Chain A
Amino acid sequence: MTRSILAGLTEFALTALVIVLVILAVLVPVALSQPDPFEVLRLFVLGPFGTIRHMGNILEAATPAMMTGLAATIIFRAGMFNLGVEGSFFLGGLAAAATAVLLPLTGFVATPAAILVGALVGSLACIVPGYLRVRFGASEMVNSLVLNFAFLFAGVYFLNYVLRDPNAGALMSYKLPADFTLDRLLQGTRLHTGVIIAFVACILGGIWLYGTRSGLNVRIVGSSPGFASHLGLASSKLLMQAQVAGGLIAGMAGAIEVLGLYSRFSWTALPGLGWTGITVAILARENPFLVIPAALFLAYLQVGGDMLARNLDVPSEIVGLVTAAILLAVTAAAIFRHPAFLRLIRDIKGQERGA
């Protein structure tokens, strides 16, 4: 037992060390190009903790990352590399906005109804590729990747022809009625009640995955399909359940994002927060409990980058660079151990042999 704790700590320390080195490797050359290199480092590393408002920004940015990270974790744990989380997030946001604009609901039912519709509609982007895989053996990775764009353009069409406010200057929906939006938690930030939902969801997700029978069965199906079929587990059903659960959570994340932050729906491209969720899931080693710190960490990087962009002559794209470098370093081990990845590689090899 102590050995496994020690091993866990070592793993954590090594991961942290790698991350620090990677951040420095990206940041130092950028800092050196500035008149005051230490100010760049200080602002990026300590800036996000400078004021309550900035810390609120971290939580605000972490909210969708936690939810999509949880969704990706559940999907990956079932052994699928379904990238529909991004599409689900977009559709969830759109459907929630549509509910707010089109349905004459008021009072306390309004927000939950919009979130529910967002979750249900959003889950489609994960369910369709999952079903195609379970039913026909079609690659969930390719299908989800392609379908994300199909859902995006269908969504933009819907926005343009149904939700569009002709009096607004650009392509955006009518104003979302106040009854539908989430309450703000902290003055001066856009932090909203969605962050509470995200925390609770991650903890419930962790309890489900590690503390319940169906969570165990999903982990078995995901990590050793042959063993699962010998045990007589209903593999296809469990696989689909995980895709539905992941899709619902990702759709809900999109709905919360739109209702929490915006007064109108105006996404005409994929928002990218589903991809962030995949990053978070990989960083968290597909553990729902670790999704929380992983999402907070990425949000912290994001806020630091924004501060650099606002105060100094450093573009906020630096965050993308840092995140990409961290992901590269972290996945060097995670890809190697990832059952979905291993199977993907095996499948690809199998196809080559067959050809």
Chain B
Amino acid sequence: MAEGPIVSFRQVGKTYPNGTVALTDASFDIRRGSIHAICGENGAGKSTLMKILFGLESPSAGQVFIDGAAADTATPDFAGKHGIGMVHQHFSLVPILTVTENIILGHEPRSSIFIDRTKARRQVVELSERFDLAVDPDARTDTLSVAAQQKVEILKALSRDTRLLILDEPTAVLSPPEIEELFNRLRDLRAAGMTILFISHKLHEVRALAETVTVLRAGKVVGTTPLAEVDDAEITRMVMGRDVDVPRRQRQTTSAPVVLELAKVSTRSHDPADRIEDISLSIRADEIVGIAGVDGSGQRGLVSVLSGLMHPASGSIRLSGADMSRAAAPAWRKAGLAYLPADRYAQGGTASLSLADNAIAGTDGDKALQWGPFLRRGAIRQRVQQMIADYAVRAGGTGERLDSLSGGNAQKLIAARELAGSPKLLIADQPTRGVDVAAAALLHGRIDQAARNGAAVLLITADLDELLRLADRVLVLFNGRIVADLANHAGLTPAALGPYMLGLEKAS
């Protein structure tokens, strides 16, 4: 067997066709026969990296080396050829098939045109004994417990001469004894010479199992270090962001009038992302309130009640004193709501229409752009060219389709439209997700400017750097409730927000 690392990433980057930058310049090695952990927050680039290694995505920059040789990751049989198996976080088993059928799926042993079931069953039994993962080969998969299904997944991943096993958050679905059991099996696999890549956010698990950890943040490798050489606080800092303080926003006044006021607002929904409970908050003019929280903690519900797409089940919402609890979307718009959405094409614009069409959408009745029912094409072109210049949008012309722009430029155009009419309330929902650095800086400046011009700003973001840079006050959402309300002073760090976001602590 060759010496040296089994896998080396060299300057690997991934930019999606819509301009989202998922990974930049990732370089690190995975040592043969080790358990290597990958840590990072949601959206840090972990899953993109694993998809590249498993051959599901091809990198847009850089190179992956396997056994020291440059590998062509873009071929469908890449993973099989190099002996890479993956256990996905969401199992990919067919529930109505038996364990044996699931494991052999895709490489069934055959006798002429038929599946050789006796041989298949024997293979599965052998595999299960060899790796000490006990499963009933004849059980229907949907009758098994989650832990047993995971064993089937692992066996499936191991069934093709696997040398490198990727586990994507394998403990998320398991109980503590099951986790211990899984870890023992993984240690046995390592002893048998298997290389294991273990993705997790849970630090104590990483420490219990792995020798080396690579931390990713915002698509970049923060560092790769042996676990013996770092303490927990150090890793936390690597995961959550640098310790050095970000420059914070300075408010002009803290006594501006309250613009938005929510009192004990709750929603009813089956989906936890839409469910909020007993939310009370107020935002003044020239104030940016940041919402931190793990994805799906109620952010979507909060946005929906604040834009009229959903009505609260109880509680009251007031905007500039007017009751908006039952107001629909057009009324919110009329009252001065601007919205920078997380999903540029589903909520912020329409991909197949032109920049001009996108830029003037929703300006119904603007006399400068309209003559009766007719649009003034000349005036519109001028207005949109002005927007493009003001927001430094890199675009060919106002007639191009929105999806011909990169993600950052599309977002800048959407911001130009939303911030045009000096809004009273701005909801910025992941305003710079997947946007390049220069565009993000410009958008931050414009959000700050909107606040200075008298807007109340609600900033929802998973990027804690962005949160601390812009917000005057940070609220942490957990399970639809506000669990912390913290002034953003110089001492507040991402690490300090972590326990609230994970529901470990609660402050009032």
> Which residues of A are interface residues toward B (Cβ below 8 A)?
1, 3-4, 211-214, 216-217, 219-220, 223-224, 226-227, 229-234, 337, 339
Contacts and interface: CB of A to CB of B under 8 A. Distances in A.
- Shortest 8 CB-CB contacts between residues of A and residues of B: A224-B350, A232-B330, A232-B329, A231-B362, A1-B397, A232-B333, A226-B346, A223-B350
Nearest to B397: A1
A223 B353 contact: yes
Contacts, number: 81
Contact of B329 (A212, A217, A229, A339): A229
A220 B350 contact: yes
Contacts of A233: 330, 362
Summarize A's interface: helix, strand, loop or mixed.
Answer: helix
A215 to B, nearest CB: 8
Contacts of B351: 223-224
A87 B14 CA distance: 50
Nearest to A234: B330
Nearest to B333: A232
Contact of A230 (B307, B373, B396): B307
A232 B332 contact: yes
A227 B328 contact: no
A1 B364 CA distance: 26
A211 B347 contact: no
24 contacts: A1-B396, A4-B396, A211-B374, A211-B375, A211-B377, A212-B373, A212-B374, A213-B364, A216-B357, A216-B361, A216-B375, A223-B352, A224-B346, A224-B349, A224-B351, A224-B352, A224-B353, A230-B307, A230-B309, A230-B339, A231-B361, A231-B362, A232-B362, A337-B352
A212 B339 CA distance: 25
A3 B397 CA distance: 9
B377 A217 contact: no
Contacts of A339: 352
A216 B369 CA distance: 13
B16 interface: no
B55 interface: no
A213 B373 contact: yes
Contacts of A220: 350, 353, 357, 361
Contact of B399 (A1, A214, A231): A1
Nearest to A338: B352
Contacts of B339: 230
Given A212-B375, A227-B346, A219 B396 contact: no
Range class of the B interface residue count: 35 or more
A227 B397 contact: no
A213 B372 CA distance: 9
Nearest to A3: B396
B205 interface: no
Interface string B236-258: 00000000000000000000000
A225 to B, nearest CB: 9
B375 A230 contact: no
Given A212-B375, A220-B353, 10 more contacts: A211-B375, A213-B370, A213-B375, A216-B361, A219-B353, A219-B357, A220-B361, A227-B350, A230-B341, A337-B352
Given A213-B364, A220-B353, A227 B347 contact: yes
Interface string B352-378: 110001001110100000100111010
Contacts of B334: 232
B326 to A, nearest CB: 15
A227 B332 contact: no
B429 to A, nearest CB: 11
B391 interface: no
A230 to B, nearest CB: 5
B78 interface: no
A332 B328 CA distance: 40
Contacts of A212: 373-375
B136 interface: no
Most-contacted residue by chain A among B329, B339, B350 (CB, 10 A): B350
Contacts of B377: 211
Given A217-B364, A220-B361, A226 B330 contact: no
A234 B374 CA distance: 19
Interface in B293-309: 307-309
Nearest to B330: A232
Contacts of A224: 345-346, 349-353
Contacts of B40: none
Contacts of A216: 357, 360-361, 375
A182 to B, nearest CB: 30
Contacts of B346: 224, 226-227
Interface string B305-344: 0011100000000000000000011111110000101010
A232 B373 CA distance: 18
A329 to B, nearest CB: 21
B400 interface: yes
B13 interface: no
A120 B361 CA distance: 32
- Chain A CB within 10 A, most for which of B308, B348, B352, B377: B352
A226 B300 CA distance: 14
B348 A229 contact: no
A230 B374 contact: no
Nearest to B332: A232
A214 B397 contact: no
A232 B330 CA distance: 4
A219 B377 CA distance: 16
Contacts of B330: 232-234
Nearest to A212: B373
Contacts of B328: 232
Contacts of A337: 352
B335 to A, nearest CB: 10
A219 to B, nearest CB: 6
A211 to B, nearest CB: 6
Interface string B110-152: 0000000000000000000000000000000000000000000
B346 to A, nearest CB: 4
B333 to A, nearest CB: 4
A80 to B, nearest CB: 16
**B308, B345, B361, B377, most chain A CB atoms within 10 A:** B361
Interface string B38-60: 00000000000000000000000
Nearest to A214: B373
Nearest to B303: A230
A216 B397 CA distance: 19
